[in-house]
Amino acid sequence: MRPLDGIRVLDFTWVVAGPVTTRILADLGADVIKVERRGSLDFGDRRGGLSGTLMRGKRSLLLDLNDPRGLDIARRLAAVSDVVIDNFSARVMTNLGLDYDALVQLRLDIICVRMTGFGLTGPDRDHVSYGPTLQALTGYTLLMAEPDGPPAGFGYSYSDLAGGNLGALAVLAALWHRRRTGRGQLVDLAQLETVASVLGPVLLDRALHGGASVPAGNASQEAPGAPHGVYPCAGEERWLAITVFTDAEWERFAGALGGAAWTRDARFATRAGRVRHAAELDRHAPASRRGWSPTPRTCARATRSSPRAATSWRCRRRRGGRCASTARRSCSPRRRPRSAARARCSASTPTRCCRGCSEWARRRSPPCAPRGCSGDRGTAFGDAGRRTGHADCRNRCRALEHGERSPR
């Protein structure tokens, strides 16, 4: 028995935000009927990829809502559904005669969820929205930049997931309200407001102190700490993420650097002093590591004295030299500071740069060995070939494992 067994959802949503909501409802046991239109695009194969994930657990129905017969079927389904949900702009369902005022005539206790971009009222009600637009309008692209750098932002539509999860929560709350009172309702869920709500601490700070919000860059937002960032090391596109919070961690950090003179500066002796002079620490840290090649053994020495490994040393290295395509940008803290802080540019991670991966591999990777690919560039290619869905990569790596030479 699942929580939403016996609940029927008529799903008119598309793209990502709305389908995330109805996928959660389907996972909870709801009978979700996905109304689709001919010619709508999928994100990959229905049996896999993003579309397969978003459609999980749903039934599909193809309807032409511009045809009176298709519209009549939609109304008949709405009359026997508990929830009707869409994420079109405000005018669409009204124009189709499927807005709340029309649906309540079909079923008195129906729950109608409208996941528009900007709400059902206001000057922007008829505007169409996408995730990156909403993220820019709510300030994420500013807040994720370097303090003096241009706007940055996410590498994906975070707002779709925020809207999708809050949409599912709204449906659950409406169902609970109906269970207690017997009444349905209209849920006006503006996705702009849902993604803004996740900025709670920033909004609270503005409300209390006024002024303008300032991007934090790679500075710690969890607790006072410095140094705290991603720093270049010896070689090309090799980086080390360093986090120091306590004085004991600072002593181990200084010891790992061989007791460099600048680490004995009195200004850096306390956490408060290090945070106050964080910018100067950031200038010292890269200079001390440009001639140093980080290894897992070096990282282990830095944290061995702490069973909790509180000093966070994470070797983030890509063996193939330069990161290709879009992954190269995400590895640069100057370009995408928050992405760089969390990127894993290593051979064990499938690269996002597999656009034209077979061509890139043909130019740059040596033959593969049976348990991975030999050589730096080969390792990066081999893992990407096995872990991504690109047939060229997989077939090429499989052929190389059987002794065939790589075409140059």
Least confident interval from 7-21, 138-152, 371-385: 371-385
Report the percentage of the chain scoring pLDDT > 70.
68
Cα 25 from Cα 237, distance rounded (Å):
43
Cα 127 from Cα 91, distance rounded (Å):
9
Report the percentage of the chain scoring pLDDT > 90.
47
Does 103 have pLDDT greater than 90?
yes
User: pLDDT of 362-373, one tens digit each?
Assistant: 333 333 333 333
User: pLDDT of 372-397, one tens digit each?
Assistant: 333 333 333 333 333 334 444 444 44
Phi and psi angles of residue 66, each rounded to the nearest 5 degrees, phi first: -85, -10
Q: Under CATH, to which class is 228-317 assigned? A: alpha beta
| pLDDT for the residue 137 | 92
| pLDDT for the residue 270 | 95
CATH 2.60.40.10 given to domain 8-197: no
User: pLDDT of 303-338, one tens digit each?
Assistant: 443 333 333 333 333 333 333 323 333 333 343 343
Cα 131 from Cα 136, distance rounded (Å):
9
Does 403 have pLDDT greater than 50?
no
Phi and psi angles of residue 88, each rounded to the nearest 5 degrees, phi first: -80, 175
369 by Cβ neighbours in 10 Å (0-12 / 13-18 / 19+) ranks as middle
Q: Residue range 164-192: average pLDDT?
A: 97
What residues does each domain of the chain span?
8-197, 228-317, 320-408
Cα 121 from Cα 94, distance rounded (Å):
13
Q: Quick check: 150 and 133 in contact, CB under 8 A?
A: no
| pLDDT for the residue 407 | 39
Question: If you average pLDDT over every residue of the chain, what do you get?
Answer: 76
Q: pLDDT band at residue 228, thresholds of 50, 70 and 90?
A: very high
| pLDDT for the residue 18 | 95
Q: Residue range 82-106: average pLDDT?
A: 96
Peptide bond before residue 227 is cis, with ω within 30 degrees of 0: yes
Element (H, E) at 84: strand 83-86
239-263 burial code (b ≥16 CB/10 A, e <16): bbbbbbbeeebbbbbbebbeeeebb
The CA-based angle 253-270-205, given to 5 degrees, is 105
Higher-confidence residue: 330 or 197?
197
Strands 83-86 and 8-11 come out as parallel
Domains 8-197 and 228-317 share a fold: no
Among residues 11, 31, 82, 160, which one is catalytic? 160
Helix (H, G, I), strand (E, B), or coil: what is residue 175?
A: helix
For the chain, the helix, strand and coil percentages under 3-state DSSP, each to the nearest 5: 45, 10, 45
Tokens of 13: 């949503």
Residue 160 known to be catalytic: yes
Does 147 have pLDDT greater than 90?
no
Does 287 have pLDDT greater than 90?
no
Does 284 have pLDDT greater than 50?
yes
| pLDDT for the residue 151 | 87
Q: Quick check: 48 and 83 in contact, CB under 8 A?
A: no
